[in-house]
Amino acid sequence: MLSTLMDPQQALQWVGTHIRPYFPATKITGIAVGNEILTGDDATLMTYLVPAMVSINAALVKLGLDQYIHVSTPNSLAVLEVSYPPSEGSFRSEISEIMPQFLQFLATTKAPFWINAYPYFAYKDDPNSVSLDYVLFNPNSGMIDPSTKLHYDNMLYAQVDAVIFAMAKMGYEGIEVMVSETGWPSKGDPDETGATAENAAIYNRNLLRRQLENEGTPLRPNKRLEIYVFALFNEDMKPGPTSERNYGLLQPDGTMAYNVGLSPLSSSSGSASISLTSNATQVQRGHQSLLFPAFLYLLLFQVFMRRQR
């Protein structure tokens, strides 16, 4: 479909059909063109990406929607050749040709760089070297970047800053970075260390607390980092390891996958991209009534491709 939407007329028709009728009644802030294309195996699809984004953005301009809706594409952290320490962040050489085109588009349209970042994977792959508290946002000594002397008390912020440094090395220092996906699985296979309901609850609870405090990263402390949690529901029919079916806060039937424990949190900060509604949502499980705060998600359109990792 990306090849079709390289055509400005096809892109205009798509936006006119799928976006314009629902805006502004539905709060649409971004269009995600594909998902993790730059780390996929289809080199031809990569060449379609930026032209399709250009055509979709041109359609938004023509319809007067570009001031409200941006166009970007979610990227896997695997776009980075180096991510540690953050100041050494750099993009993979395999995407060196397309990356300048992509970054120039983001800079021109003032769209964010979207990154899918999962500290869980780093912990799972090397639990003896990676601190669990560091990846869960728990109190810990953290790490200091030897070049910048910036202190990091969690891995997610370090990963985001590595992307910022990688862009700066290519001459693009002002592009915003948003976390388009992050989360923690509540179940896993025997070799998926750390995939527990307890860790998932801690990760999401601590993450939300930081969102409510409008935190930025050490490199951009005064710029709030916008984050989207994956996922609302478990995907019980998804293939692959057990963890892939257990990132949700809820089961497919609407019952809680685990108690994320958000009831003590205040919902007064309306600017959080992941915020709490003022009313609790009631869920029946057998004879027990469970009350828990519901997440209010900004609608983020995932276009063309289903999420894959």
Q: Which residues are catalytic?
A: 36, 181
Residue 10 carries which side chain, given as an amino acid letter? Q
* Structure-token match 């710029």, residue found: 223
Residue 228, judged by CB atoms within 10 A of its CB (0-12, 13-18, 19+), counts as buried
Return d(Cα 84, Cα 44) in angstroms, integer: 30
Write out the two tokens for 283.
């869920």
Please give the Cα distance from 173 to 151 (Å, whole number).
20
| Residue 26 DSSP SS3 | coil
How far is it, in rounded angstroms, from Cα 54 to Cα 50?
6
Amino acid at position 26, single letter: T
Most distant CA atoms of the chain, gap in Å: 60
Inter-axis angle of helices 8-18 and 43-62, to 10 degrees?
Answer: 70
Q: Are 34 and 4 in contact (CB under 8 A)?
A: no
* Distance between CA atoms of residues 263 and 280, nearest Å: 9
| Distant-in-sequence, close-in-space partners of 119: CB < 8 Å, separation ≥ 6 | 135, 154, 155, 156, 159, 182, 203
Closest residue by Cα to residue 109 from 62, 59, 54? 54
Q: Report phi then psi at 108, rounded to 5.
A: -70, -40
User: What's the CA gap between 166 and 143, in Å, rounded?
Assistant: 19
